Amino acid sequence: MKKKILFFATLTLAIVAGCKTDFLEEMKSFDKYDDSILENELQTGWYIDRMYNYYFVNYRNPQQSIVGLYNDNRARMTEEIGGTVTNYTNPTTNLQLASQADGYYGNPVSASVQNNPYTRIRFANFLIQRIDQAGSGLSEAFRNTAKGQMYFLRALQYFDLVRVYGGVPLVTNVQQNSATDETVRQPRATSAECFDLMVSDLDSAALLLPMRWDAATTNYGRLTAAGALAMKSRVLLTAASPLFNKDWDNTGSQKWQKALDASLDAERKLTAAGYGLFGSNAKDWAEMTFRADNAFNPEALMVFLLSTNSASSAGYNNSWENSVRPVSYRGGGGIGATKEMLDLFPLADGSRPTVANYVDTFFFENREPRFYRTFAFSGSKWGIKGNDNKSTWFYRWKANAEANSGTFYANNQVNSPALVRKMSNPAADSINFAFSGTDIFEYRYAELLLNIAECYAATGDVNNAVAYIGKVRQRVGIPSANNYGVGSLGTKYSAIEACLYERRVELAYEGKRFWDIQRWMLYDNIQESGNSVQKLGLLPINGTKRTGYYWQSKTYGSDPLSPAIRNILIDPDAANFLTEIAKLKQVYRTYFTRAPLDQEWDRVNNAGVTILFRPNYYLSGLSASVLANNSWLQQTKGWLDYSGGMGSYDYQQ
């Protein structure tokens, strides 16, 4: 059994409960702790661990994002998951009022601690500001790593605030908790100023933290200099993208060059410290999050450690395993793969599916290695504890031609002939899927390589962009011919688009897709984006929908397949893999047809809809409660302020 708590903590809550109850009680109110907390390493360690808890306690699923919030709403605004029409993608709503804005910013001033963004920033500021004086008796090494973690955490919090709102007030010291003191009335900084602070904080973290922690059994997973360098790459890539950079189309843009320089610097230093791509084939790629549990993994730049313990006081569990497993596995029902995702992945030679080379009826045939590790379909080997060769099927039959619905094999009622299986552990215990301890890699080395590729593409260096995409594809075993299937790209636009495509495949279902759509403003082709959709040769996401279909029996009344026919085991690592794929293809031809869903996957009030993400949604306005208590703050353009006037804050500055 794992003995880990969520994301880096050195003490489990069960151990902590008996010895620091008073300390935890103190942190419930701003005025009940003081410098004495920082007088010894034990108490300061408790303080740091509590900060990790404040930041990451709700992070249980790789599709979740936003520090402290961690829901999957944004993942559901992409092609990756169908069936949920969020407020931001609902064509029947038009959000513009301050009362309709995102509430992430926080609540009005309160005497008690509420775990919101500026509370987390305040706690980070307190340690940074006071530890050298109040903790003067502590070793310099300990004080440095304590401050380094706080600088990193503060940068993470400001990054998510800016991704939600654009520029926000920058607070870098502990301020009086007051609704009337005018000296604490900070205006909204520009987005550029916010990015500058994040970079400064991450530079400080990189100087103060180790590239790899000693005593890995207790410290593995804590924030590192390696993570800070990689995070600086992500921050500057975001700052250089169209959402925040009106000059993105200029190959000489300093923002792109800064992002490239930071990303290459991270690559050099991480490589020297032993980081890199995990493994050398697709099997390694699929198993990276659970094969070397509790041990250093070169691909993991930011890793969230999770526990198999069913007691909530002893750790936090990964909810993903239960979410992806179908009913026939005793799981939560599974996540149906949209047709858009099934049709997205490259073919075996790395080329993209086209009308000429791909038949979507047989989506499982001739696909590149990552496809078979990202999705499970009928006959796929998808093991569990005690049954390495377990598989299941996804099809249905109807009672008669007039029936409005059908019966699903093994009660696997899904809107697709395939389920998402990525980041699932084949040794997971079906009795305890809800208590999975599989770690979440929030930032992988592969993402850093794709950051570099995108920066090269944006600065006009197409050859290097293709080369870095090739590094990611080589690891999973795509043949090297024709630049690993990427081909010869003629323009920076085609190279940028190729980078975004590769991110959709390599980072699928890891909570990254929405942020790529957002920073490139891909829902529509608008002037504020510099017409990025058109220039990249893409179609707007607005007007599309997530679709699915059933494998449905050609005959009626009963299950068309006998156990002998279902005796197919598709294992991409087996010598008979292609033979088993051919068998499945023949079973489909003989027994099944493709049937439309009984009702649209994306619907509002039971009516099918297409996505409509309005331009002012790319960044939220400030909420009515924030504006009411902070009257000096400007509202974002595209949103109405507290008095009903149009906002004037320009987030692209």
pLDDT band at 15; cut points 50, 70, 90: very low
Cα–Cα distance measured from residue 614 to residue 95, given in angstroms and rounded to the nearest whole number: 8
The answer to whether residues 401 and 336 belong to one domain is: yes
For 220-232, write each residue's pLDDT tens digit: 999 999 999 999 9
For 567-589, write each residue's pLDDT tens digit: 999 999 999 999 999 999 999 99
For 345-389, write each residue's pLDDT tens digit: 999 999 999 999 999 999 999 999 999 999 999 999 999 999 999
Average pLDDT in the 332-343 region? 98
Asked, for residue 221, whether it belongs to a domain, the answer is yes
Asked, for residue 455, whether it belongs to a domain, the answer is no
The answer to whether residues 217 and 124 belong to one domain is: yes
Judge whether 284 and 292 are in contact, CB under 8 Å: no
For 499-535, write each residue's pLDDT tens digit: 999 999 999 999 999 999 999 999 999 888 999 999 9
Chain centre distance of CA 63: 5
Q: What is the pLDDT of residue 418?
A: 98
Q: What is the pLDDT of residue 140?
A: 98
The answer on pLDDT for 10 being more than 80 is: no
The answer to whether residues 65 and 196 belong to one domain is: yes
Give the residue carrying structure tokens 């353009």: 637
Give the residue carrying structure tokens 């993400």: 613
The answer on pLDDT for 316 being more than 80 is: yes
Contacts of 331 (CB under 8 A, 6+ apart): 321, 322, 323, 324, 325, 430, 433
- Enter the tokens of residue 268: 């050099």
Asked, for residue 324, whether it belongs to a domain, the answer is yes
Q: Which of 536, 568, 590 is the last residue of a domain?
A: 590
Q: Residue 163's domain is classified under what CATH number?
A: 1.25.40.390
Contacts of 461 (CB under 8 A, 6+ apart): none
- Enter the tokens of residue 579: 């033979």
Contacts of 234 (CB under 8 A, 6+ apart): 159, 443, 447, 451
Q: What is the pLDDT of residue 30?
A: 60
In which domain, by residue range, is 430 found? 320-438+549-590
The answer to whether residues 258 and 376 belong to one domain is: no
Asked, for residue 539, whether it belongs to a domain, the answer is no
The answer to whether residues 143 and 256 belong to one domain is: yes
The answer to whether residues 252 and 348 belong to one domain is: no
The answer to whether residues 345 and 419 belong to one domain is: yes
The answer to whether residues 362 and 426 belong to one domain is: yes
For 465-491, write each residue's pLDDT tens digit: 999 999 999 999 999 999 999 999 999
- Enter the tokens of residue 492: 């920076």
Number of domain units in the chain: 2
Cα–Cα distance measured from residue 524 to residue 516, given in angstroms and rounded to the nearest whole number: 14
CB hemisphere CA count around 650 (13 angstroms): 5
Q: What is the DSSP string of 9-70?
A: -SS-HHHHHTT-HHHHHHTTBTTS--GGGGSSHHHHHHHHHHHHHHHHTT--STT-BSTTT-
pLDDT band at 108; cut points 50, 70, 90: low
Q: Is the dihedral of CA 257, 262, 263, 268 positive or negative?
A: positive
Identify the residue with better confidence: 516 or 313.
516
Q: Which of 541, 568, 590 is the last residue of a domain?
A: 590
Judge whether 241 and 162 are in contact, CB under 8 Å: no
Q: What is the pLDDT of residue 112?
A: 66
Q: Choose among 50, 1, 54, 5: nearest CA to 318.
A: 5
Interaxial angle between packed helices 492-506 and 462-475, expressed in degrees from 0 to 180 and rounded to the nearest 10:
20
The answer to whether residues 233 and 378 belong to one domain is: no
The answer on pLDDT for 19 being more than 50 is: no
Q: Choose among 579, 288, 251: nearest CA to 447.
A: 288
Q: What is the pLDDT of residue 24?
A: 53
pLDDT band at 17; cut points 50, 70, 90: very low
The answer on pLDDT for 456 being more than 60 is: yes
Asked, for residue 177, whether it belongs to a domain, the answer is yes
Judge whether 172 and 633 are in contact, CB under 8 Å: no
Residue 405 DSSP label? S
Asked, for residue 470, whether it belongs to a domain, the answer is no
Asked, for residue 64, whether it belongs to a domain, the answer is yes
Cα–Cα distance measured from residue 377 to residue 367, given in angstroms and rounded to the nearest whole number: 13
The answer to whether residues 254 and 352 belong to one domain is: no
Cα–Cα distance measured from residue 452 to residue 234, given in angstroms and rounded to the nearest whole number: 10
Asked, for residue 217, whether it belongs to a domain, the answer is yes
Residue 281 one-letter amino acid: N
Contacts of 267 (CB under 8 A, 6+ apart): 448, 449, 452
The answer to whether residues 54 and 139 belong to one domain is: yes
Least confident of 268-272, 328-332, 523-527: 523-527
The answer to whether residues 252 and 327 belong to one domain is: no
